[in-house]
Amino acid sequence: MRKRKQWYLYFLALLFFIQTAYADAGLPMIILVMPSMVVLLVPIILIEACVLAKYLCLNFSKVLMGASIGNIVSTIFGIPLTWGVMTGLEFLITSGGRAYGDEVWWQKLIAVTIQAPWMVPYEEQFYWMVPAALAFLMIPFFFISWAIEGFFVKITIDKSIRQNAYRASFYANLASYAFLELCILVYLLINIIKHP
């Protein structure tokens, strides 16, 4: 009971010290990434399990467990952790998330790469900047997913072929992230067509 009271006190203190959120605070891309990754989790697992089965010459059911566990862990822990690290780097590089503008090409490039984790509020440009930033974020997410999922594939397959687990996971993630990038490209094209 005492611990519960402590948590209530922490929560109340947090509420007391939170400042008012402003509309110009930017867009933390994790808000868009996580729901999309959860919705696409089953197709991603199926894509990766097919590639793993083909590459490792195993039955689909034998690789499905490793692909499923690895994807769930990388979605719940790996992607948010990577986003957090990238956000920290963004704030270090840009002196706290300073806006560089969006008038010239190099400013736009900074906005969708270095500032991709926490987008500066260029709302009038979001129709193309958000998909471009998502496409860029898929690069580090690919690498963390490959590392985490490779581990789970390795521990769930037969010992005789474990040396191929990370290579097979690389190709499986290449296929699933190509699928994700294709989804983002479609999203970008729809936004460009709909934008006046």
pTM check: above 0.85: no
Q: Tell me what pLDDT residue 22 has.
A: 44
Provide mean pLDDT across the span 119-144. Answer: 93
DSSP 134-181: HHHHHHHHHHHHHHHHHHHHHHHS-GGGGGGHHHHHHHHHHHHHHHHH
Angle between helices 165-194 and 41-56 (to 10 degrees): 140
Q: What is the mean pLDDT of the chain?
A: 87
pLDDT-derived band at 6, boundaries 50, 70, 90: low
CA distance 60 to 54: 8
CA distance 141 to 133: 12
Q: For residue 26, how far is the Cα from the chain centroid?
A: 18
Q: What is the pLDDT of residues 44-96, one digit of tens each?
A: 999 999 999 999 999 999 999 999 999 999 999 999 999 999 999 998 988 77
**Domain ranges across the chain:** 27-194
Q: For residue 130, how far is the Cα from the chain centroid?
A: 13
In this structure, the dihedral spanned by the alpha carbons of residues 188, 193, 195 and 196, taken in order and rounded to 10 degrees, is 160
Provide mean pLDDT across the span 149-154. Answer: 95
